[in-house]
Amino acid sequence: MLRKRNRGSYWKWIWLSIGVLFLLIAGIFTFFYSAQKPVRADEATALERIDGKVDLKQQDDFYLYNGANGVYYVLTGKNSKGKNIIVWVPKSKKDTVVVKYASDGISKNEAIAKVKQEKNPAKLLNVTLGMDKGVPIWEISYLDSSGSLNYYDVDFETGEWYRAIENL
């Protein structure tokens, strides 16, 4: 009789543990989904702003750049001719949308290589396309060997250093 009761108690704890684990996973998923909601809304806003004005047939990536001179939504993808394009959409409607072929500038990997060569970062944090005073840039954030936060901006078109903000 004692043995049957222990076996039932054992299964009760297993099912309870599975239920708690399920609730924990569902909670984590909900948290991360909610955290991405504003970014998805910004992406939808950018697509609405260029609808019918820019030949973007296939969207690949979305970058959100929050710079000193304003917020830019940056979309990458292909046009109807299959060419890779990049579209800088300012949050402010008074500023102009900028469209460039990806081949007109350096790639994400080339920007990363430049930072690694010149700054030797301990850890790369983020790489995003942005716009500063009409200049398209790659912004790379990283930690240096002392753990300080740094930003290194590379001119998208020339591949040259644009600006560095160091030791934050």
Under 8 Å between Cβ of 79 and 56: yes
Q: Compute the mean pLDDT over every residue in the chain, rounded to the nearest whole number.
A: 89
The pLDDT value recorded for residue 167 is: 86
The pLDDT value recorded for residue 5 is: 60
The pLDDT value recorded for residue 3 is: 55
The pLDDT value recorded for residue 141 is: 96
The third-level CATH classification (topology) of the domain covering 108-165 is: Nuclear Transport Factor 2; Chain: A, (3.10.450)
Compute φ and ψ for 112, nearest 5 degrees.
-60, -45
Q: Give the tens place of pLDDT for each residue, 138-168.
A: 999 999 999 999 999 999 999 999 998 888 8
Predicted TM-score (pTM) of this structure: 0.76
The pLDDT value recorded for residue 1 is: 46
**Residue 161: Cβ-neighbour burial (10 angstroms; 0-12, 13-18, 19+):** middle
Cβ neighbors of 59 (< 8 A, separation 6 or more) are 47, 75, 76, 77
Write out residues in the chain with pLDDT < 70, as ranges. 1-8
165 DSSP β-pair partners: 151
